[in-house]
């Protein structure tokens, strides 16, 4: 489930959580179970389910008390995705980068103090970096954060770093503002940004920023740590090449 945010509108979040529950359980679900799992009153839950049903997003299986989504949400989501003004020309390049490196590739933007995954192209390898569209992670734990901050002016970047909480997630997590600033400067000089085990010891990432319609985004390759260590230069050069390719199109 998505972690609740203080700024969330409760009713909107509950609708999202209902669909997330169906995605998790992969089966028709009765009112009582939805209410219990999502921890909100049956009366409120029933009102939401009936609203979704009346608008064609849910149906009751065999006229029972069990609900399940119709394909309407899928059809509408597909239209939205196919016409996404950002991803329509970026997605093919992400796929090319995935094909060249053999690793998972994702596009991220900055939302507050977090990197926000907008698109993910999964590697076909059994052992791979796992990421989910919509996922958010702290800026200081990966190459995405370094790249996004690397695109900022020095003053803006330093001001933002002062706001960050450098929570430690793994032995290699950066917990020093000074070291974090140095890593970003090194990445700018190198031409790509690297995080080895910043979030989990067994995963690493290499990325760089790209400008699209005046906004900075991060293109990142994520992979098991040992594969990144053994191929850092080739992966880094590939990331830089495809970032330049995207920039030339916008």
> What DSSP string runs through 68-80?
EE-THHHHHHHHH
Tell me if 5 is assigned to some domain: no
What's the confidence (pLDDT) of residue 9?
A: 78
Question: What token pair was written down for 40?
Answer: 């909100």
Q: What is the CATH number of the domain that holds 219?
A: 3.30.450.40
Tell me if 107 is assigned to some domain: yes
- The verdict on 126 and 201 lying in the same domain is yes
Tell me if 168 is assigned to some domain: yes
Question: What token pair was written down for 146?
Answer: 């370094």
What's the confidence (pLDDT) of residue 143?
A: 97
Q: What is the CATH number of the domain that holds 17?
A: 1.10.10.10
What's the confidence (pLDDT) of residue 20?
A: 92
Tell me the mean pLDDT per 10 residues along the chain, length 250: 59 90 93 92 92 94 87 87 75 95 96 94 92 92 97 96 96 96 97 96 96 91 94 96 80
Tell me if 153 is assigned to some domain: yes
Contact 240, 147 (CB under 8 A): no
What's the confidence (pLDDT) of residue 213?
A: 82
What's the confidence (pLDDT) of residue 83?
A: 75
Around 36, how many Cα atoms within 13 Å sit in the side-chain half-sphere?
A: 5
- The verdict on 99 and 44 lying in the same domain is no
* C-alpha distances in Å from residue 62, one per residue of 28, 59, 97, 191: 11, 9, 46, 59
What's the confidence (pLDDT) of residue 78?
A: 81
Q: Domain span at residue 234?
A: 84-249
Question: What token pair was written down for 12?
Answer: 């909107």
Tell me if 4 is assigned to some domain: no
Rg of the chain taking only CA atoms, in angstroms: 21
- The verdict on 125 and 29 lying in the same domain is no
Tell me if 2 is assigned to some domain: no
For 30-36, the CB contacts below 8 A with 24+ separation are: 30/65, 30/66, 30/67, 31/65, 31/67, 34/67
Around 81, how many Cα atoms within 13 Å sit in the side-chain half-sphere?
A: 10
- The verdict on 121 and 91 lying in the same domain is yes
Q: Which of 26, 57, 76 corresponds to the end of one domain?
A: 76
Q: Which of 30, 55, 76 corresponds to the end of one domain?
A: 76
Tell me if 1 is assigned to some domain: no
Closest CA to 139 of 205, 234, 233: 205
- The verdict on 67 and 18 lying in the same domain is yes
- The verdict on 167 and 48 lying in the same domain is no
For 177-182, the CB contacts below 8 A with 24+ separation are: 180/140, 180/146, 181/157
Is 222 strand, coil or helix? strand
Q: For the chain, report the end-to-end CA distance as a whole number of angstroms.
A: 35
Domains identified in the chain, total number: 2
- The verdict on 120 and 241 lying in the same domain is yes
Q: Which of 38, 55, 76 corresponds to the end of one domain?
A: 76
- The verdict on 181 and 241 lying in the same domain is yes
Closest CA to 53 of 9, 15, 2: 15
Question: What token pair was written down for 208?
Answer: 């760089």
- The verdict on 45 and 128 lying in the same domain is no
- The verdict on 97 and 59 lying in the same domain is no
Contact 156, 173 (CB under 8 A): no
């Amino acid at each position: 489930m998505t972690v609740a945010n203080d700024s969330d509108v409760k009713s909107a979040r509950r609708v999202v959580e209902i669909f997330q529950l169906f995605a998790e359980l992969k089966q028709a679900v009765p009112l009582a179970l939805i209410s219990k799992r999502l921890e909100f009153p049956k009366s409120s839950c029933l009102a939401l389910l009936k609203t979704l049903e009346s608008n064609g997003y849910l149906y009751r299986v065999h006229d029972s008390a069990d609900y399940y989504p119709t394909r309407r949400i899928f059809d509408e989501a597909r239209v939205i995705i196919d016409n996404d003004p950002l991803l329509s020309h970026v997605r093919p390049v992400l796929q090319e980068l995935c094909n060249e490196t053999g690793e998972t590739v994702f596009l991220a933007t900055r939302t507050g103090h977090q990197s926000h995954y907008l698109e993910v192209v999964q590697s076909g390898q059994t052992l791979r970096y796992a990421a989910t569209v919509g996922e958010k992670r702290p800026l200081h734990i990966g190459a995405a954060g370094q790249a996004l901050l690397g695109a900022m002016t020095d003053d803006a970047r330093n001001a933002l770093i002062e706001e960050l909480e450098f929570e430690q997630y793994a032995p290699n997590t950066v917990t020093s503002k000074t070291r974090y600033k140095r890593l970003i400067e090194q990445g700018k000089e190198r031409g790509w940004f690297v995080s080895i085990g910043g979030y989990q010891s067994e995963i690493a990432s290499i990325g760089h920023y790209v400008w699209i319609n005046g906004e900075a985004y991060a293109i990142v390759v994520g992979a098991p740590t040992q594969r990144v260590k053994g191929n850092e230069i080739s992966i880094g050069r590939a990331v830089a090449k495809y970032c330049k390719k995207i920039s030339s199109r916008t």
